[in-house]
Amino acid sequence: MLRNMTIDSKNSFLATTLSSIGDGVIATDINGNIIFLNTAAEEIMGWATSEVIGKKFYDIFVLIDADTNQLLESAINNVLIAGTATGVKERSALITKSGTRKYISVNISPIVGETGILSGTVTVFKDITQIRSMELKLIEEQSNYMKVFNSAPVGVIVINENTMITRVNEAALDFLNSTEEQSIGKKFGDAFFCQESFSDQQGCRYSRKCENCEMKIGMNLALKSGIATTNIEFSKSFIENRKARELWLKMSITPMINENKRTAVIVLMDITDRKNKEEDVTRYKILSEKVRDIIHFIDTEGNIIDVNQSGLSSYGYTYEEFLKLNIRDLRAEGIITQDFIKNIDEGEIFYETVHYRKDRSTFPVEISAKGSDVGGKRVIISIIRDITERKVVESSLKAAKEVAEIANKTKSEFLANMSHEIRTPLNGIVGMVDLTLATELSDEQKENLMIVKSCSNSLVKVINDILDFSKMEAKKLVIENINFDIKSLIEETIKAHSPSAIKKGIELNYTFSLAIPQYVLGDPSRLQQILNNLISNAIKFTERGEVRIKVKEIKNQDNELEIQFSVEDTGIGISEDNVGMLFKSFSQLDGSITRRFGGTGLGLAISKQLSEIMGGRLWVESESGIGSKFYLILKFAIGVKIETKPKEIIELKKIDRPYNILLAEDDKINQMVITRILKERGYLVDTAVNGLQAVDMCLKNSYDVILMDIQMPVMDGIEAAKKIREKNKYTPIIAITAYALKGDREKFLAHGMDEYVSKPIKIEELYSAIEKSLSSNKYNNDISDVGIYLDEVGNIVLKKIEVPSFDKKDSPLLNELSKAIDAMNNDLEKREFLMIESLAHKIKDLSNKLGIEELKIIAFKIELATRRGNFEMLIEKGRKASYVFEVFKKSVL
């Protein structure tokens, strides 16, 4: 019983082991019945073990000859008969259960028991279909290579590491007058009967003259040093019919590795004919030898009486044909009059024109012509230069200049657009902070909100970095010279960076020299921009210790100051090798620790350029692992004390009773700002994000006034007003639009609006329009010049807005824009990317001329999408462009 358990345990272990190997394994008994099948065999054959146990091996393991498709004898027959291991015929294929064919390698062995009696077989096989496919592909590629090799129009010779020829194509055999049998296994000179190989009867490479053989030198470079030789021209004499035959050859030798041995491919061209022609050229007359330009002689009637070889080559005529021509036959542009020829005869002229060749093709020429006496006869000598290449270069330079200008313009537009896109949400943040600051707050709350505002403004300044860089490239950056409190600026700058330092657990300290006047003349924004870059970098790259800012006076003379600002840290420092990279645009240090901190790589580059523009300098002293010290020196004039005044807070009076107002506005920032303005007055406000929602809300609720934005998604304001008017003829509707053009008021009133307010919204105008609609003016404040507006850094400012005008003379531009949009939509359906990009550029220019800012931005985004191949964005922006244009037309027509 114990013995049987041991046998079962061994069988179980063996079965588990065989099931886990990658090769297929099939075991049979003495009668060829399958008694075991492992997992790999199941996967290769497609049969499950439960389907084949007890089945005959030859019924399951079916082999065919892959070339003839003939069925092969069962693979285990010989093993069962002879009792010895065997394989199967090469290129045998297994037919799987599904009928597919797989190339396999097979090894079949007998199973012999402890008594030495044959008890069955075991077949181990592997799927080599992929390997076989690769072999067949390689054979096919080799076949194709040989076809190309033999059909190449130039001579190709392959040599081994001993410079023996192993392969040669027909072209080489043809012009070197040899055979494959004569060439294979021999050196070049021996194979092709080089004269030097037989001069001393020692064979190739052994003659004293062989030391300077170009062929030998090139082969040595390729085989010994792996250096290629290209386009070497030389002459060599070969023996043919016992006579020497000189050939001019053009040779390239390329080293290769074959079976871990360095070999080389020699490419030869017979250039004997070309060289012979070149030698013929040297026999031409002295005129042809001295100049490369075209020279011809004409008489006073314009008949050509002589020409050099360069002229014949350029025009394509024979000498005899050329002498039958008149100069007028060569001129492709303009007419040569007799007066023109007379003027040349009397003096020297220099001009450019275009000439015909014999085949009537044209080429640009530069002509210097002068009359002269030759052999007692009056002739005109013209020296003509083909300037095709120069024109191509000029055209290329012009095109490159245009491309660069377009690219620079596109970059500027892109940067401006991205700045606008990023500023919009930031403006909303700062705007809401300003509105909140106008409410009753504790000192701590005000302090927190001021930090939020400062951080938001810092983020806007980061965006401005990129625009500043672009402006500096275009040399359009403006440096101010205004009076400011430099001590307060330093304190505000330090305070803005304090949260970052506290968060990292490092100290942020500063010292300000008492010798420095409190007020100076200079550019505070640019100074703060540089300091922000230096301080933020110092904090970023410092993990422990401190960042210290020092401001000291180094010169005070004739009302002019030189102030040194230093920012010192105990951070990672910079190695001497990397210091030079710090002030390069878009560059960062290579070390992984540097890349970990990220950044655009523009801050220090901008800071350095700013310092130089401001007449100062910026440099760094640093040691890796110790820390860095950045120094900035700038000049300032001494300023005067500034009397600061507290900010005036505008108080808005409340109305005597609440009115219900519906605000239809899709822009969230405008929603928040307008809603806040209305609520400060005491109105109750509901908001709709599009015209359709506004229509639905009007059906469900009662409103005293509707404020209707004109441009909205789903349904625009004009269409929404018409829908509301169909159900409600009495509720006042006030149009609110960014397309504020002179004369629009009447157009919007004609579309069913009761009043009209332009964006940016003036508080007084908005209140007046609402209360006029409610037939009450008693709540108006004296704020006729007050308009609310979010500036570029997110502050709410009061500003008077100039209203643009739309003149009837612009109607052709409007029609042209309409056609361009229709054409672009048509090309969108055809996916004509090049045409779409061109039309988008045209739409952008026309929108700019008409003042349709949003359509201009959309067109620019369409241009970018075409270059990126983003078709989904093209469809989206194309539809939006059509919609914006339709809304604009409704507002002006």
- 156 lies in the same domain as 193: yes
Residue 633: how many other CB atoms lie within 10 Å: 17
- 246 lies in the same domain as 341: no
Domain end residue (candidates: 581, 607, 638) = 638
* Arithmetic mean of pLDDT over the chain: 79
pTM above 0.95, yes or no: no
- Which tokens hold the place of 26? 């099939």
Domain end residue (candidates: 277, 307, 331) = 277
pLDDT at 281: 40
- Which tokens hold the place of 702? 């009662």
Place of tokens 């050859």: 249
Q: What is the CATH number of the domain that holds 374?
A: 3.30.450.20
- 54 lies in the same domain as 123: yes
* Percent of the chain clearing pLDDT 90 (strictly above): 16
Q: Average of pLDDT values for 316-333? A: 86
Place of tokens 């000189």: 246
One-letter amino acid of 680: E
Whether 141 is in a domain gets the answer: no
Q: What is the CATH number of the domain that holds 463?
A: 1.10.287.130
- 497 lies in the same domain as 452: no
The residues near 719 (Cβ < 8 Å, ≥ 6 apart) are 691
- pLDDT band (50, 70, 90) for residue 809: low
Whether 288 is in a domain gets the answer: no
Range with the poorest average pLDDT among 451-465, 588-602, 805-819, 868-882: 588-602
pLDDT at 68: 87
pLDDT higher than threshold 60 for residue 322: yes
Whether 655 is in a domain gets the answer: no
- 567 lies in the same domain as 680: no
The residues near 206 (Cβ < 8 Å, ≥ 6 apart) are 197, 200
166 vs 223: CA distance, rounded Å: 14
- 460 lies in the same domain as 483: no
593-628 per-residue burial string, b: 16 or more CB within 10 A, e: under 16: ebeeeeeeebbbbbbbbbbeebebebebebeeeebb
Range with the poorest average pLDDT among 232-236, 425-429, 666-670: 425-429
For residue 760, say if its preceding peptide bond is cis, omega within 30 degrees of 0: yes
pLDDT higher than threshold 60 for residue 797: no
pLDDT at 739: 52
- 515 lies in the same domain as 594: yes
- Which tokens hold the place of 580? 């030079």
Q: Average of pLDDT values for 566-587? A: 77
pLDDT higher than threshold 60 for residue 201: no
Dihedral (C-alpha) 789, 791, 797, 803: value to the nearest 10 degrees? -50
- pLDDT band (50, 70, 90) for residue 651: very low
pLDDT higher than threshold 90 for residue 838: no
pLDDT higher than threshold 60 for residue 661: yes
846 vs 856: CA distance, rounded Å: 8
pLDDT higher than threshold 80 for residue 831: no
Q: What is the CATH number of the domain that holds 870?
A: 1.20.120.160
pLDDT at 584: 66
Long-range contacts of range 288-291, CB-CB < 8 Å, 24 or more positions apart?
291/383
Domain end residue (candidates: 429, 451, 475) = 475
Q: In what order do the strands lie in the sheet with 348-356?
A: 304-307, 294-298, 377-386, 362-374, 348-356
One-letter amino acid of 120: G
Residue of 722 and 829 predicted with greater confidence: 722
DSSP per-residue string spanning 140-186: HHHHHHHHHHHH-SSEEEEE-TTS-EEEE-HHHHHHTT--HHHHTTS
Domain extent at residue 128: 2-134
- 498 lies in the same domain as 438: no
Q: Average of pLDDT values for 518-525? A: 92
- 471 lies in the same domain as 487: no
pLDDT higher than threshold 80 for residue 471: no
DSSP per-residue string spanning 748-815: HHHTT-SEEEESSPBHHHHHHHHHHHTT--TT--S-TT-BEEE-TTS-EEE-PPPPPB--GGGHHHHH
pLDDT at 198: 67
Q: What is the pLDDT of residues 68-78, one digit of tens each?
A: 888 888 878 88
pLDDT higher than threshold 50 for residue 799: no
Strands 660-664 and 684-688: parallel
Is the distance from CB of 382 to CB of 368 less than 8 angstroms? yes
542 vs 714: CA distance, rounded Å: 52
pLDDT at 345: 72
Residue of 474 and 619 predicted with greater confidence: 619
- Which tokens hold the place of 370? 């002068």
Highest mean pLDDT among 350-354, 384-388, 414-418, 490-494 belongs to 490-494
Residue of 232 and 867 predicted with greater confidence: 232
Is the distance from CB of 275 to CB of 248 less than 8 angstroms? yes
pLDDT at 9: 52
603 vs 600: CA distance, rounded Å: 7
Place of tokens 């303005």: 677
Whether 284 is in a domain gets the answer: no
319 vs 311: CA distance, rounded Å: 9
C-alpha distance from residue 335 to each of 147, 235, 329, 457 (Å): 56, 50, 10, 69
Whether 391 is in a domain gets the answer: no
458 vs 797: CA distance, rounded Å: 19
pLDDT at 796: 44
Q: Average of pLDDT values for 81-89? A: 81
Whether 92 is in a domain gets the answer: yes
Q: What is the pLDDT of residues 237-291, one digit of tens each?
A: 888 777 888 888 888 888 988 888 888 888 888 888 777 656 644 444 455 456 6
Whether 363 is in a domain gets the answer: yes
Is the distance from CB of 390 to CB of 365 less than 8 angstroms? no
Whether 651 is in a domain gets the answer: no
pLDDT higher than threshold 60 for residue 405: yes
- 628 lies in the same domain as 486: yes
**What are φ and ψ of residue 359, in 5° steps?**
-80, 10
Helix (H) / strand (E) element for 433: namely: helix 388-437
pLDDT higher than threshold 50 for residue 234: yes
SS (H, E, C) 298-357: ECCCCEEEEECHHHHHHHCCCHHHHCCCEHHHCECCCCCCHHHHHHHHHCEEEEEEEEEC
pLDDT at 779: 36
Range with the poorest average pLDDT among 48-52, 89-93, 642-646: 642-646
- 518 lies in the same domain as 630: yes
Is the distance from CB of 322 to CB of 348 less than 8 angstroms? no
Is the distance from CB of 500 to CB of 536 less than 8 angstroms? yes
650 vs 656: CA distance, rounded Å: 19
pLDDT at 586: 47
Number of domains in the chain: 7
| H-helix segments, 682-743 | 691-700, 717-727
587 vs 601: CA distance, rounded Å: 5
pLDDT at 570: 93
One-letter amino acid of 293: D
- 373 lies in the same domain as 334: yes
- Which tokens hold the place of 605? 């580059």
Q: What is the pLDDT of residues 580-607, one digit of tens each?
A: 677 765 444 444 333 445 444 567 888 8
